């Protein structure tokens, strides 16, 4: 009974992350052109800014269509492995907070896998002037396995210029936290950080 209850909680957590992640991506993709968005609560340092990630994390890419297929296969294998490991950790009665962290990482990975696999087929292309259409009559902007991951959270907490006297970068624009990410990325980050904290502060913690 305990296993079933915990399994239900983990399943609901993964489902909730996926639903929120995909709902946000659908909203942003169909509401804004590329680089479009708005300031949250009117704050310059908290924005929704629509961008697309064409490859791996931080914009890294593998070469061409073959590279995207390899990346897609790798993501599927990694996501399946994470899902299985989460299930095994639950069955083996490992610390529940650890299993929750694994579930967050798994859900985030699956959320980005969905983008890469399907978005090229189900959405029209986003440009700087037009918003994307869901299930366009003329077909998607690419093919299966060639979708772009949608990112939208942007928090440039500090935006200033380096003093002129600083070597090499004097006078240039400096932004702290210039990365744009999505809800799936946030879920993965929270899961990883929590596992690190568990390992650092709990002698009872064991993988």
What residues act catalytically? 151, 185
Interatomic CA distance for residues 4 and 163, integer angstroms: 59
Gyration radius of the chain's alpha carbons = 20
Whether the Cβ atoms of residue 108 and residue 186 lie closer than 8 Å to each other: yes
Q: Token pair 């936290």 is at which residue? A: 177
Provide long-range contacts, Cβ within 8 A and 24+ apart, for 10-18: 10/86, 10/90, 10/99, 10/100, 10/103, 13/100, 13/103, 13/104, 13/107, 14/103, 14/106, 14/107, 14/110, 17/104, 17/107, 17/108, 17/111, 17/183, 17/184, 17/187, 18/107, 18/110, 18/111, 18/114
The crossing angle, in degrees rounded to 10, of helices 2-31 and 96-122 is 30
CA 151 to chain centre: 7
């Amino acid at each position: 009974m305990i296993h079933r209850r915990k399994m239900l909680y983990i399943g609901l957590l993964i489902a909730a992350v996926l639903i929120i992640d995909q709902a946000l991506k659908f909203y942003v993709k169909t509401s804004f052109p590329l680089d479009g968005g708005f300031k949250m609560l009117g704050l310059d340092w908290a924005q929704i800014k629509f961008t697309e990630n064409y490859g791996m994390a931080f914009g890294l890419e593998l070469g061409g269509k073959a590279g995207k297929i390899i990346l897609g296969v790798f993501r599927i294998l990694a996501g399946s492995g994470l899902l299985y490991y989460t299930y095994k950790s639950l069955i083996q009665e490992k610390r529940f907070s650890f299993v929750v962290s694994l579930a967050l990482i798994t859900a985030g990975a699956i959320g980005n896998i969905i983008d890469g696999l399907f978005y090229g087929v189900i959405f029209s292309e986003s440009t700087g002037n037009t918003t994307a259409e869901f299930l366009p009559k003329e077909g998607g902007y690419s093919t299966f396995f060639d979708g772009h991951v949608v990112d939208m959270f942007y928090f440039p907490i500090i935006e200033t210029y380096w003093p002129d006297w600083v070597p090499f970068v004097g006078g240039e624009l400096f932004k702290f936290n210039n990365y744009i990410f999505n809800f799936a990325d946030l879920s993965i980050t929270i899961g990883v950080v929590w596992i690190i904290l568990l390992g650092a502060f709990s002698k009872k913690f064991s993988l």
